[in-house]
């Protein structure tokens, strides 16, 4: 028995499903998870000593790879000065200034401890500001495990066939309208049918929790216009895209200014951090200035903020976004070659044909085992999950770790080298050949 198998057997006795977050359980790929011992740069090692090139990247935060020196040193330094005080500390001012400098729509912000907390607080604020209750979201977008947002959510919720969670009162779910992504017409119709009742539209500007797909031309601007003309707030959940697709997130790339933004993942450098912010007049509704309560014992924790600040500054120092685009372009070129090779060489009997739609944005990528175009959840769900599962295991066996679900996004870090990516492409070639 491997050490991982032994640990998983013990874990299942005391932890539901053996994991502290469902998608880690490998259910969608018919497997059992390995346990990680350590990581450095683009590599991770499991407790049995096997090495992997990692494209999970801690589900997004590890944009500099694992245990980056700059971040680890910053955390060490902060730890020596005390772990948490619950008293204002200078790092809180530094990170607030840095974020509003990089993302100009964020005039004021609050630090929290997870992306879930960030989106939850955005919703509460939007409801207070507009004095309305209903929320529009999009099928397949995941915004953390907030009650009202767990309706047709992506990521683990999707992977485990629970598009809407048990335990969410129908009365809460009734306040959420979930629409197909990229369907601006339906958004307009929903605003008309719910006149004066929609508090906010929340979305991932680049959806990355049901695989990865993109907003079609002008979709984000249409949402901006609908929100403005209907007196609703536009909330961008940039927990994944923030600091990854550009210094200023997806809103910088698409030139659309949301009223509120939720951040997480990269901002904590691997420690538990989230943030939310936006227009000052909305943020000023927060307690103690205003009537919207929001708080946190560990919010603004000095270790977490030291890690986040170090990670963001290092990204800027090395011009990480340019490097990530170069690595992403190399990955795309080689991945497409492997995919085309597999498509051109169907199995001997000709019964097995591999149809893959490859999507990439900078350092994020997804291989859907389905024909394109894919612009929404329904498209992503056409994927051949059995085929994905076999591909996943064929890569894992050869030391390449992709997220254990078709409905996730792969992440390249600045620590991946061109040689890592070449090795990965060779593994993908072999893995695809094994499927035929």
Ligand X SMILES: *Cc1c(COP(=O)(O)O)cnc(C)c1O
Residue numbers of the site for ligand X (CB under 6 A)?
Answer: 114-116, 119, 142-144, 204, 209, 237, 239-240, 264, 274
Q: Identify the CA nearest to 202 among candidates 294, 115, 98, 99.
A: 115
Residues 6+ apart with CB under 8 A from 229: none
Active site residue 265: yes
Return the SS3 of 174: coil
Q: 101 near 109, Cβ under 8 Å?
A: no
Give the residue with the Cβ less far from ligand X, 126 or 334: 126
Q: Is the peptide bond before 288 cis (omega within 30 degrees of 0)?
A: yes
* CB 116, min distance to ligand X, A: 3
Sign of CA dihedral 430, 432, 435, 436: negative
Sign of CA dihedral 138, 142, 147, 151: positive
Q: 141: which 2 tokens?
A: 């977008």
Give the residue with the Cβ less far from ligand X, 144 or 354: 144
Give the residue with the Cβ less far from ligand X, 142 or 254: 142
* CB 156, min distance to ligand X, A: 10
Give the residue with the Cβ less far from ligand X, 114 or 389: 114
Active site residue 142: yes
* CB 338, min distance to ligand X, A: 27
Residue 241 phi/psi, 5-degree rounding, is -75, -25
Question: Which residue out of 46, 55, 134, 142 is catalytically annotated?
Answer: 142
Return the SS3 of 235: strand
Give the residue with the Cβ less far from ligand X, 59 or 368: 59
Q: 264 near 299, Cβ under 8 Å?
A: no
* CB 51, min distance to ligand X, A: 27
* Three-class secondary structure assignment of 23-39: HHHCHHHCCCCCCEEEE
Give the residue with the Cβ less far from ligand X, 116 or 406: 116
Inter-axis angle of helices 418-435 and 385-397, nearest 10:
130
* CB 289, min distance to ligand X, A: 26
Q: 421 near 334, Cβ under 8 Å?
A: yes
Question: Which residue out of 134, 137, 152, 265 is catalytically annotated?
Answer: 265
| Alpha-helix runs per DSSP H in 103-248 | 115-130, 155-159, 170-173, 184-193, 219-230
* CB 55, min distance to ligand X, A: 16
Question: Which residue out of 54, 139, 183, 237 is catalytically annotated?
Answer: 237
Residues annotated catalytic, as ranges: 142, 237, 265
């Amino acid at each position: 028995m491997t050490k991982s198998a032994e640990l998983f057997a013990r874990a299942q006795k005391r932890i539901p499903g053996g994991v502290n977050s469902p998608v880690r359980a490998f259910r969608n790929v018919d497997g059992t998870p390995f346990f990680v011992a350590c990581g450095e740069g683009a590599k991770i090692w499991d407790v049995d000593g096997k090495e992997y090139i990692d494209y999970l990247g801690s589900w997004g935060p590890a944009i500099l790879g694992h245990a980056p020196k700059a971040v680890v040193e910053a955390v060490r330094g902060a730890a020596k000065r005390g772990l948490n005080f619950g008293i204002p500390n200078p790092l809180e001012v530094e990170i607030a200034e840095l974020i509003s400098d990089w993302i100009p729509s964020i005039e004021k912000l609050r630090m929290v401890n997870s992306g879930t907390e960030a989106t939850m607080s955005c919703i509460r604020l939007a409801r207070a500001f507009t004095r309305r209750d209903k929320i529009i979201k999009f099928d397949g977008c995941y915004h953390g495990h907030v009650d009202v947002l767990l309706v047709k959510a992506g990521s683990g919720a999707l992977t485990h066939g629970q598009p809407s969670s048990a335990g969410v009162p129908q009365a809460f779910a009734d306040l959420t309208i979930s629409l197909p992504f990229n369907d601006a017409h339906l958004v307009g119709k929903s605003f008309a049918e719910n006149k004066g009742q929609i508090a906010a539209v929340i979305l991932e500007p680049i959806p990355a929790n049901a695989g990865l797909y993109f907003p079609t031309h002008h979709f984000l601007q249409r949402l901006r216009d609908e929100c403005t003309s209907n007196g609703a707030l536009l909330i961008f959940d940039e927990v994944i895209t923030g600091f990854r697709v550009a210094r200023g997130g997806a809103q910088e790339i698409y030139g659309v200014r949301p009223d509120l933004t939720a951040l997480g993942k990269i901002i904590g450098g691997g420690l538990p951090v989230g943030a939310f912010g936006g227009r000052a007049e909305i943020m000023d509704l927060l307690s103690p200035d205003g009537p919207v309560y929001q708080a946190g014992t560990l919010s603004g924790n000095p270790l977490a903020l030291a890690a986040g600040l170090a990670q963001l500054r290092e990204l800027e120092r090395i011009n990480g976004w340019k490097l990530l685009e170069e690595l992403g372009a190399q990955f795309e070129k080689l991945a497409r070659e492997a995919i085309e090779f597999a498509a051109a060489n169907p199995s001997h009997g000709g019964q097995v044909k591999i149809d893959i739609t490859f999507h990439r944005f900078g350092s994020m990528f997804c291989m859907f085992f389905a024909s394109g175009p894919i612009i929404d959840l329904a498209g992503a769900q056409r994927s051949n999950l059995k085929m994905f599962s076999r591909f996943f295991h064929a890569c894992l066996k050869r030391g390449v770790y992709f997220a254990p679900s078709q409905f996730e996004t792969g992440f390249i870090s600045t620590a991946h080298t061109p040689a890592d990516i070449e090795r990965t492409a060779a593994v993908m070639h072999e893995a695809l050949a094994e499927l035929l």
